[in-house]
Chains A and B, each alone.
Chain A
């Protein structure tokens, strides 16, 4: 006879007819003779039925129309600027050196312009600016993996898809929750396109998190290459080069240092993979954001 403590472990299998005959019989025998477990099993069934019986919901009738308007709105001038930059970048390897150099300068210039430009319609609201700014306000920062244990390897391994080319990732626009859909769109930024923000660290103590990063780096043979995008919303974007094998160490160290949530890429690849620098190292951009207190 099975004891009461273990019986609940079999509720799902027995309820769904997913247990082997012997276990099924043992559980049912126990249920027949034990009122307390029978009561628990009854509530288990009530729970499942209650969940299944929740009322049906339907999207609004003009859902498709609203969606198309939203998608069209996103096809903005920024997309075309970025596609031109892409074309130029693609042309560089075959172009004569001076042309390549001029193109690169142009690209850098465009990148600077785009990165610093805040679309008027967005800045009017005071809530949503371009790139780093907008995220801080609409909560796009903490990406997916916060609820998974970091040491599961998910954070450490996920960004290393075999993507190496700088422009390999489709831009995924994000608009913040809880806002009207009419002005919510975030424009793509050069940072999005070149593979910045491979990783987001949201911390209630951002300065500490930043400091920790700098302390961790020497230990994992990494180096700081960039730390210039700090903005009014208290975000910082830090570029580092680290051995690809130490990526896991970096993310776990950051968590240990008290950064609360570490977001890596989510399943549909909306955070770009780090860019390969050479056979050993990757370039990684980490966005530090202030967590709401």
Chain B
């Protein structure tokens, strides 16, 4: 069991995550877009399009325009998620001494790391709670939800809470051990999980998230880009030359319009009136 949780599950989960997301995205991208779905108004030049997409990714611009309150929570959640993941990478690798890189003394870095980790972790928990609250108490949104909508939020909340819990005195795992364990995983030479129940719980939940991710709507991480790219495609320019590649089989599929013959009547009328 230990071996399974510590040495098999992480690899399995990560492979499912990566393979699943890639499979889904490539499935979308393999399907043709038979017609331009340009949603006007779109910027004409490439720079404008890139700016538009970035403002969507970094600021959730559209949501801001439509629903300011929801935007606060959604944006805060994604920002704190990003911060926490970044914090994990540096904090665990440098054992909280990461801020020494920018000129702090080690003691300061330790305090700063704990402080920032705590803040972002708390913000993440708060924003998840707010989203959950909205999902339950906003009638429209509740009816739009299916059980897995709650599950997404609850799973993330559970990960966050176990993460924060590790800050409690007595529950704190040795970061040394965590780092050694992660290093083992990365070098394909896994060692047993550190002996800290909370950490193990956190770790298992993260594995569950990775396993579940490609099947859930959390793939919006990639899907939103696929959609945006369709919506900012340049509209067709006329005349369309004969050598242009057809957009899909639908374009090629043959049909001959049954055109009524050019009528003599109307020509005659023209002849009269010219």
Q: Do A and B come from one complex?
A: no
Contacts from A to B (Cβ < 8 Å): none
Contacts from B to A (Cβ < 8 Å): none
